[in-house]
Amino acid sequence: MTACKQKEGDYMAKFEFYLSAEDTDRLFAVKNSTGNNDLTGNEYAKDLLHALLYKLHPAIVQYDDNGDAI
């Protein structure tokens, strides 16, 4: 993971990983079946992960004064 600062107090992280051939096939099958043919595989994977994260944890993570998640 690589973090980059966007603006004061706002960070984004870059994740890089490999998918197996079977999972890559699954990703493109879902991408095509949902009609997202205008997106690259990386763009679709990013959108898919974003949607899943919001579904699993919709609240914004809050931190205490020590930087620990509350």
pLDDT in tens, 4-49: 555 556 778 888 999 999 999 999 999 999 999 999 999 999 999 9
Total structural domains within the chain: 1
45 belongs to a structural domain? yes
Look-up: residue for tokens 């609240």? Answer: 59
Range of the domain at 42: 19-59
Give helix 21-33 / helix 41-56 axis angle, nearest 10°: 80
The answer to whether position 12 is within a domain reads no
Q: Write down the pTM of the prediction.
A: 0.74
The token duo for 68 is 């620990």
Stretch 41-59: mean pLDDT? 96
Closest listed residue to residue 44, CA positions, set 31, 29, 60, 58: 31
Residue 49 included in any domain? yes
Domain annotation covers residue 23: yes
